[in-house]
Structure 1
Amino acid sequence: MTSAQTSNSEFPETDFNLLDDSEDADNHNSSITATRLSLQFQLDDSFIGQRIDQVAAAVWNEFSREKLKQWMKDGHLLVNGNIVKPKYKCEGIESLTLDVELESQTTAQPENIPLDIIFEDGDIIVINKPVGMVVHPGAGNPNGTLVNALLYHYPKSSELARAGLVHRIDKDTSGLLVVAKNLEAQFSLSKQLADKSVYRIYDLIVYGNIIAGGTIDEPIKRHPVDRIKMTVLPGGRDAVTHYNVKERFQHFTRVQAQLETGRTHQIRVHFNYIGFPLVGDPVYVSRVRVPAGASQKLNDKLRSFKRQALHASKLGLIHPRTGEEMLFEAPWAEDFTELVEVLRSENAAY
């Protein structure tokens, strides 16, 4: 488990297109502690004619529009030093000031759950999430989540939206996540994700033989009938996945995929769409597919592998405070490693 200063040589260097280290990259000037927030933002003519509550929600998107409107009414969010109504129309020359004491942003409770921390400093935490851990509490998962663990590890994360989370991976996907420890870091990381400049590499194993690498550029939206699933459909959100073949087996392929966007279930949906579903995927594969002539060892491994064979192995970003290019790596989960070893032994026997 290491961090480095260089991009992954398996992909062109241009893929690691992170934000420039520019003082005015997002027009923010800020002085932040985990409790007291003081932010300024200078508008430009791109905001002319827009309602100030809409502008504030775009500028500080870590807070809900209703929360920002309340802060306007309470005098915590000022325009040119004055209180204005949420429907105020911008002239494009205003200076916004947000000065507020942060309160708890979550009702989740801290839990002493061990975390596999790859890196941590005063601004970010990079975590290798295990298989089976839900990222955020929700219906059916009120506790035992990554958020519960974060609240115990770093109590001030309760003052951040989603406890500092800026992206998620599925419950049964293992691997790397970055979490912000203050609002400045959360704004920066969210902007990098929105700009598609965070470098995310996943390892996966699919059914079938993929001949060569390529790009899947297909829109994704919620399935119109099965609401648990996502699917490729016109009118969905743009979704782009680049991939390389890393290892070929008799009836399977190990692939490395790079996300350009981050849609729900993106890799699982995209590879299912091109006819190469992920081994073990409980949502997009209706039954275990054991190839004819498979050994008992492979048969047992496939039937016991009950989650998608997917691991977030590499994560690249710009450090929100230092501007340093950082690349983190996490080893495969044990079950993923065992699956690859069985496939390799099967290949050798064949």
Structure 2
Amino acid sequence: MSQTLEAQQRVPDAMAGLRLDQAAAELFADHSRERLKAWIKSGELTVDGNPARPKDKVYGGEQLQLAAEVEDDTRFEPQEIPLAVVHEDDEVLVIDKPAGLVVHPAAGNPDGTLLNALLHHCPSLAGVPRAGIVHRLDKDTTGLMVVAKTLAAQTALVEQLQARTVSREYDAVCVGAMTAGGTLEAPIGRHPKDRKRQAVTASGKPAVTHYRVVERFRAHTHVRCRLETGRTHQIRVHLAHLRYPLVGDPVYGGRLKLPPGAAEPLKEILREFPRQALHARRLAFVHPGSGERVTFRSPLPDDMLMLIDYLREDHATMR
């Protein structure tokens, strides 16, 4: 089976000088660059209504128009993996992702992912690129994700992400007593020496995180973060850059720090916390079908609730 995909994007002036396939990969981010190159070559992706070549330069202001046939993706197997469904209708599916679930198959995780679970839950997602996934959470980050069930819904949600009108809010517990909230605007890209990590770097892509203090403890802080952009590991990288790394973060957390004089139960939970303490608590977007803005919320998971309880007790005891 196949579906017809129709979408269009205007090339922003900031992309002047890029190859067409590079610009298309940025503007139609839910499709692979190789697939976009094939559509350019076949004439299914045009520039101002005219055919072009992948290597042609863009100058800003052009209208890229995509009208392509998308075949069902049979590379990935449906697998019966439990999903916590928060909401489902004909256009979208909102799920509450648990810790430990990888979103998309990749080297080291060929199956057992959210994508495999989605294909089992809704077989028609085989006809939507990436089984409708439009944004990701790290393997050990919990919380809300929206999945598009149709090509039209996926296009609409990707456009909202690009326009920064999707609201994503996270709860985090970080190391250090943060004095006040703020906004960090610092570009994120590949770490210059460790390709598996991200870092704040001048050559990175723009990244903006708003953060505020929810509750301050002796040596830790419960923080609420709101994303304007969605770079890989953005909250983890930005808070570590501010020297407030997330509790339990195996990549950006640094050396374990225990509050002086802390009781043994708190020391134990800080030593053994199994993941970065990060939860996608709130998600809001314009529904692709109704055109109304919808909001979904997810309560803190048990492991973060327990961590905060121990930190609160320690703070009260040691004051």
Q: Same fold (TM over 0.5)?
A: yes
Question: Is 1:257 the equivalent of 2:228?
Answer: no
The Cα of 1:55 is off from its aligned counterpart by: 7.9
Does the 8 A contact of 1:39 with 1:98 survive in 2?
yes
* Equivalent-residue separation in structure 1 for 2:26 and 2:192 (angstroms): 29
Q: Which residue of 2 aligns with 1:166?
A: 134
Q: Percent identity?
A: 47
The Cα of 1:251 is off from its aligned counterpart by: 1.2
Equivalent residue in structure 1 for 2:67, among 85, 98, 101: 98
**RMSD over aligned Cα atoms:** 3.2
- Supply the AA of the counterpart residue of 1:173: T
When residues 139 and 151 of structure 1 are mapped into structure 2, their CA distance, relative to the original with a 3 A threshold, is same
Q: Which runs of 5+ in 2 are unaligned?
A: none
Question: Is 1:245 the equivalent of 2:213?
Answer: yes
Does the 8 A contact of 1:78 with 1:97 survive in 2?
yes
Q: Which residue of 1 aligns with 2:238?
A: 270
Question: Is 1:107 the equivalent of 2:75?
Answer: yes
Q: Which residue of 2 aligns with 1:306?
A: 274
Equivalent residue in structure 2 for 1:141, among 109, 114, 118: 109
Q: Which residue of 2 aligns with 1:153?
A: 121
* Equivalent-residue separation in structure 2 for 1:35 and 1:143 (angstroms): 24
Q: Which runs of 5+ in 1 are unaligned?
A: 1-33
SS at match of 1:118: strand
When residues 206 and 81 of structure 1 are mapped into structure 2, their CA distance, relative to the original with a 3 A threshold, is closer
Does the 8 A contact of 2:245 with 2:253 survive in 1?
yes
The Cα of 1:104 is off from its aligned counterpart by: 2.5
Does the 8 A contact of 1:106 with 1:163 survive in 2?
no
* Equivalent-residue separation in structure 2 for 1:290 and 1:56 (angstroms): 48
Q: Which residue of 2 aligns with 1:217?
A: 185
RCO greater where, 1 or 2, for CA within 8 Å and sep 6 or more?
Answer: 1
The Cα of 1:286 is off from its aligned counterpart by: 3.1
| Superposition TM-score, scaled by structure 2 size | 0.87
| Superposition TM-score, scaled by structure 1 size | 0.79
Equivalent residue in structure 1 for 2:297, among 308, 329, 333: 329
SS at match of 1:148: helix
Q: Which residue of 2 aligns with 1:39?
A: 6
Greater C-alpha radius of gyration: 1
* Equivalent-residue separation in structure 1 for 2:64 and 2:189 (angstroms): 37
When residues 53 and 248 of structure 1 are mapped into structure 2, their CA distance, relative to the original with a 3 A threshold, is closer
Does the 8 A contact of 2:82 with 2:117 survive in 1?
yes
The Cα of 1:79 is off from its aligned counterpart by: 8.9
Does the 8 A contact of 1:240 with 1:259 survive in 2?
yes
When residues 94 and 172 of structure 1 are mapped into structure 2, their CA distance, relative to the original with a 3 A threshold, is closer
- Supply the AA of the counterpart residue of 2:67: L
When residues 71 and 252 of structure 1 are mapped into structure 2, their CA distance, relative to the original with a 3 A threshold, is closer
The Cα of 1:320 is off from its aligned counterpart by: 1.0
